[in-house]
Structure 1
Amino acid sequence: MSESHDVPAEEQTRHAQKMARKKAARDRMMETKTGEKGLVIVHTGAGKGKSSSGFGMIMRCIAHEMPCAVVQFIKGSWDTGERRLLTSNFGDLCQFHAMGEGFTWETQDKSRDIAAARAGWAKARDLIRDPSIRMVLLDEINIALRYGYLDPQGVVDFLNAEKPEMTHVVLTGRGAPEILIETADLVTEMAMVKHPFRAGVKAQAGVEY
């Protein structure tokens, strides 16, 4: 049985007036936001959710029937849920390229890591140059930038010079370089407040991958 919440008439009137003022202010603000452009979006920080947020936007593109693409720079050897879903069900709208060979401490071969990162960036450039692709997710590229496998200045210069006007590019991974943060249109830093790994809980399907 639903609980009844009787609000006194005077309080209800004050609330309605307050909400009306907020709506009017919001409407005035939205009237000034009419432009559209392809965004450079960075998800960084030590907290969980950087890749998850990027893949959420890829799913939105698919829902709008907007061609998109994913280049994974680190987790190439992982059988992830997002990889299964996209390649099995949405290959006509979303290209998926797993270019990495696993985390750098797994390969233990810097030359291989650099080669994989550069191959991933070459594929990413081709995808970004294609104006029919509306969003390109560069998953964990910030790690490759942080380790020096790719040149941050070169990545920024390419985005500034060659990214089509309406293409969105999403770059994820902790430790995004300052030059990339300065260039981006949208930057979100994920902060870790609490993580089960510290309590001995391993990465689990459906949560981490």
Structure 2
Amino acid sequence: MGLIDQAAARFQEEIASGRWPVGERIPVEAELATAFGVGRNTVREALQSLVHSGLLSREQGRGTFVISSSELSGSLSRQLAGGTRHHYLELRLALDSTAASLAALRRTDADVEQLRRLRDEREAAWATDDPDPDTRAAADLALHRAIVAATHNPLYVELYSSMTDVFARHMRDDESGDDDAAHRHHHDLVEAIAQGDAGRATEVVAAIFEPFMR
């Protein structure tokens, strides 16, 4: 592996680990050259390879930003660009519905414990006097990712994790208008999975998404 490929691999690890989060600007080339012990030309070429992979984006006068956490999500983002908000909602509804059904059939006791904990944390994120939309979104996503993890299908987990980057860039935050109903639905979803009721789990996912599909 050449120096450029080695540098690109190290930069990709910074992204995959979350040390360079999606949406954040990365250090300038001179800083990277010093930090990683490589020449600036090597840094430049390595970064450009990640731009081509869809992980980074260069913005004139602003710097280089992380736009995807994996090459798969970068590829998906390019292929799915231009879809409407309703298109992305339909796609996520399909993914979440299947995940809930599979999780109900395959969940372990440890999965159920994790889901109940994350459900409670999701409710807590809504209970503060000055709620932070980013905190709410992260708590909600953590629960839904855990449901996908409970399918014990590594391909599903990889696809869903990549798709969430796409959803985040193409769908604006929205409110259902009824937080109590949303909490109740998420409570029922977790309990349906805990009880192994795949049909009920699928129904509840549909109820969660219904207010956003109007």
Normalising by structure 2, report the TM-score.
Answer: 0.30
Larger radius of gyration: 1
Structure number with higher helix proportion: 2
- Which one scores higher on RCO, CA 8 angstroms, separation ≥ 6? 1
Structure number with higher strand proportion: 1
